[in-house]
Each structure stands twice: as C-alpha cells, then as structure tokens.
Amino acid sequence: MRSTRALAIGLAFLVLAGLVGAIFARGGSATASTAVPASLPGELTHGAPWEPNLGQLRARLAALHLPALPAEGTALHIHSHLDLFVDGRRVVVPAGVGIDVAEGFISPLHTHDTTGVIHVESPTVRAFTLGEFMGVWGVRLHDGCLGGYCGGGGSALRAYVDGHLFTGNPAEIALAEHKEIVLAYGTSAELPQPVPSSFAFAPGL
C-alpha cells in the first residue's frame, strides 16, 4: 500500500512538472493563478517613455503576491526579451525595473539594462507572465491599453510571441527562456516590418 501511494505521488509530481515545463517551453498563456489585479499602486497610464517607476514598487509586489527579495533568486533563472512599439516607434524598456537599490530589495522579475531583456530570477519554480512583469514595472497592460494608449481611430494593441500573433490576453503571455515578445500599439501600417521574431541574447544569458 505504501509503495503504491508513493508511486501515485511521484506520478502526480511528474505530471505537474511537465505542465509547468510545457508553459515555459512554448511561451503561451500561463494559468489563472498568475492573474494581475485590474489596478496597481502607482500604475502609469500616461504615454511613453516610462521610467523604472520604483516609488510604489513594494506595494505593487505585495498586490502581485511577489516577494521583495534581498538578492536574486536561484531556483529559476531564465530570460525573455520584450520589444515595445508605439505608433511605429520603438519604446525603451528602462534599466532597473523591479530593483530598488535605495531600499535594498529586488523583484523576481526585473531588468538590468535597456536591452529589453527580462530577467526571471526566482527562489521558487513557477510560471511567470508578461502581465506580472508589466505589473512590477507599473505600466498599464489591460483592457486593450498599454500605458496611456488605448484602442481607437484604427489603432490597437497587438502582441506577438516569436514573430507569431498572440490572439489572447497579452498579460497572460508566459515568460519563457529566450522568448521574443512584442507589444505594438498603433495602426496595422505602423507595425514593425518585419515583426521581431528572435533576439540575440548575450553569451551567458
């Protein structure tokens, strides 16, 4: 009986690990457990550019159920890349998103430079989403809006993963190893040509 129960527990663990791994591998939608609140403290709803927005970072992490870590986590360490475009112009993802040097803490989701590389350095292994990263940054990404840009007049927010149009909620895009994620707001004529489908990650990332 004991060996049967142990086998069942082992099989259940393998199934769960496989589901999490599949999310990381395909960069699709994550589960509802990673849902982002409709509004967050200090959320930016103005036009680009957007600063690292650290003023209410700790409060946003609490609302997102993410830890304020004293150092980067090591259980999960992956990298995705985010390209932002508004009305055909590239928008910089700033350095220092999710890192409050003055207060001495760091989010599991953060940036170190202006390349658009999102670092996922977590003390626990779980799926993370683009919506969570944007929540850490505090730039609105819901109801078809990106910051201060909402649909209308022929403009819309479109999302792409590895060059393929993502038809679901962009906030649910899973952050996966070496995934190229594009958020482009504007008319269809203002889309980047071609839409980025990959990124040359630096050695070691």
What is the percent of the chain with per-residue pLDDT over 90, rounded to a whole number? 81
* In a domain? residue 57: yes
DSSP character at residue 34:
G
Which of 167, 162, 149, 151 lies closest to 195 in space, CA to CA? 162
* In a domain? residue 198: no
Domain that holds residue 86: 2-190
* In a domain? residue 202: no
Band the pLDDT of 66: cuts 50, 70, 90: very high
On the question of a cis peptide bond just before residue 49, with omega within 30 degrees of 0, the verdict is yes
How far from chain centre, in Å, is Cα 119? 9
Amino acid in position 30: A
Contacts of 193 (CB under 8 A, 6+ apart): none
* In a domain? residue 86: yes
| Res. 10: pLDDT tops 50 | no
* In a domain? residue 25: yes
Predicted structure pTM score:
0.85
pLDDT at 35 (0 to 100) = 80
| Res. 23: pLDDT tops 90 | no
What is the percent of the chain with per-residue pLDDT over 70, rounded to a whole number? 83
Average pLDDT of the residues in 127-133: 98
Strand partners, 139: 44
Dihedral of alpha carbons 201, 20, 29, 147, sign? negative
Average pLDDT of the residues in 170-179: 98
How far from chain centre, in Å, is Cα 159? 12
How far from chain centre, in Å, is Cα 141? 11
Angle between helices 130-137 and 57-64 (to 10 degrees): 150
pLDDT at 21 (0 to 100) = 44
Q: How many CB atoms lie within 10 A of CB 14?
A: 10
* In a domain? residue 15: yes
pLDDT, the chain, mean: 88
Average pLDDT of the residues in 63-75: 98
* In a domain? residue 94: yes
pLDDT at 71 (0 to 100) = 98
Count of structural domains within the chain:
1
| Res. 25: pLDDT tops 90 | no
| Res. 32: pLDDT tops 70 | no
HSE-up of residue 183 (Cα within 13 Å, Cβ side): 28
* In a domain? residue 196: no
Task: Quickly tell me which residue has 């906030």 as its tokens.
Answer: 171
